[in-house]
Amino acid sequence: PGMGTGADAHGLLAQALASAAPLVLDADALNMVAADAGLHAALVARTAATLMTPHPLEAARLLGRNAAAVQADRLGAARQLAAAFSAMVVLKGAGSVLARPDGFAVINNTGNPALATAGTGDVLAGLCGALLAQHWTPWEALMGAVWLHGAAADLLVEQGVGPVGMVASELPAAIRLCLNRLIRSRSGY
C-alpha cells in the first residue's frame, strides 16, 4: 500500500509476483495489475497464496467494468476476481464479500462506516500479512483479518470513537483487544 505506480513500484511488484512467498495485494498494486498486461499475466500465473483486498473501484478496474456494475453484484464480482486470479479476495464495503477460487464465498458481519476512512484498508492489508506470517492458511488469514478489522471498528464505535472522526491509527489497539477477547473466549480464561 502507498507504493505508487511508477517504474520502481512496477519492478518491485513484478518481483513480488514472481516469488513463491504468500502475497497480499491492495491499492496501487491492484491498480498496476489492472493497467498492465504483463503484471496481470504474472498474477494469473502465480501458484503461491495470494490475497487481494480491493474496494469496488479497484475491483471494477480489474474486471474491466464500472464500479456500479460491481456494486450491483458484489457476490458475483468477488467470485469472478477469485476465480480469475486464483486468489482469496475480499471485496471491501458494507457487507464485505470474501471469496475463494472454488466459488465459495461468505459475507462478513462486522464493521461500520468508520472503515471508509483513509488508511483503514492499509490496516486490513497489514493484518492479512501478519496472520499469513503466523502460518494461518490464506483463507483463514483473510477471514480472520476481515472479521477482526470490522470487530475493532465496531468496538471503537461502542466506545464513542467514531464512526465520525475515527482514524486508521486507532484500529491496531482495538484489533488487539478483539483478538485477546476471542482467544479468552475460546480458551476458557
Model confidence at 188: pLDDT above 80? no
Model confidence at 69: pLDDT above 70? yes
Model confidence at 43: pLDDT above 70? yes
Model confidence at 85: pLDDT above 60? yes
pLDDT at 187: 86
pLDDT at 3: 84
For 89, half-sphere exposure in the C-beta direction (CA atoms, 13 angstrom radius) is 31
Please give the model's pTM, rounded to 2 decimal places.
Answer: 0.95
User: Mean pLDDT over residues 52-74, rounded?
Assistant: 98
**pLDDT tens-digit series, residues 121-162:** 999 999 999 999 999 999 999 999 999 999 999 999 999 998
For 9, half-sphere exposure in the C-beta direction (CA atoms, 13 angstrom radius) is 15
DSSP bridge partners of 24: 51
Which domains occur in the chain, in start order? 1-107 (3.40.1190.20), 112-188 (no CATH)
Mean pLDDT of the chain: 96
The confidence band for 23, taking pLDDT boundaries of 50, 70 and 90, is very high
d(CA 133, CA 123): 15
The residue type of 109 is: N
User: Mean pLDDT over residues 14-18, rounded?
Assistant: 98
The confidence band for 54, taking pLDDT boundaries of 50, 70 and 90, is very high
